[in-house]
Amino acid sequence: MAEFIKLYNENPNQKAIDKVVQVLKRGGLVIYPTDTVYGLGCDITHNKALERIALIKGVKIEKAKFSFICDNLSHLSDYVKQIDSATFKILKRALPGPYTFILPGSNNLPKVFKKKKTVGIRIPDNNIITTLVENLGNPIVSTSIRDDDEILEYTTDPELIFEKWGNLVDVVIDGGYGDNIGSTIIDLTDDYPEVIREGKGDLDIL
């Protein structure tokens, strides 16, 4: 059964952060709050953990639409091909915030993602997840926790999330109630930004 850990967004407890980071480094799966819906993720460098997430989500890992959560824009050059200044300005305006940006993937992508031409990049406006990523030292591969209920697309209550997912993951972080609207997804791989999904983020940033 997963461990249920309470963290506060304003001031995440360092001891608890360290504990979760150790779980991630060992290949554990963690559910955490973001600035939109709760996410499920693992250390980007841990192939076995990535396979576990793909299995839980019922997708082939090569085809999975996972995003990479970074704590700032400095990680971009590790996984994204060089981008032009107009694209960078959009990222600077929007992040941290409730957006997923589709960008051209570089040759440094982890082995399991080598065939992917694009990557989804997230820098949520949430201290808990960005502090985790910062302490881990590399991005977390992330996917949203969708609900099977036809009316509720996303579960917002961390205790209900724990009840449902506690046997599948290693840690569930209680960071308070989540949102039930996903991030706005914007494709920046072409000459003009294309909105793939309108979610929580405002489109004025484009």
DSSP 56-123: HHT--TTT---EEE-SSGGGHHHHB----HHHHHHHHHH-SSSEEEEEEB-TTS-GGGTT-SEEEEE-
Give the type of residue at 16: A
Q: What's the rounded Cα separation, in Å, for the pair 172 and 128?
A: 12
Which pLDDT band holds residue 77 (cuts at 50, 70, 90)? confident
For the chain, what are the domain ranges? 3-205
Q: For the segment 127-157, what is each residue's pLDDT rounded down to a tens digit?
A: 999 999 999 999 999 999 977 766 667 889 9
pTM exceeding 0.85: yes
Q: What's the rounded Cα separation, in Å, for the pair 71 and 21?
A: 14
Q: What's the rounded Cα separation, in Å, for the pair 180 and 172?
A: 17
CA-CA-CA-CA torsion sign (81, 87, 88, 90):
negative
Architecture of domain 3-205: Alpha-Beta Complex (3.90)
Burial 106-117 (b: 16+ CB within 10 A, else e): eeebbebbeebe
Q: Of the given ranges (30-34, 113-117, 137-141, 181-185), which has the lowest mean pLDDT?
A: 113-117
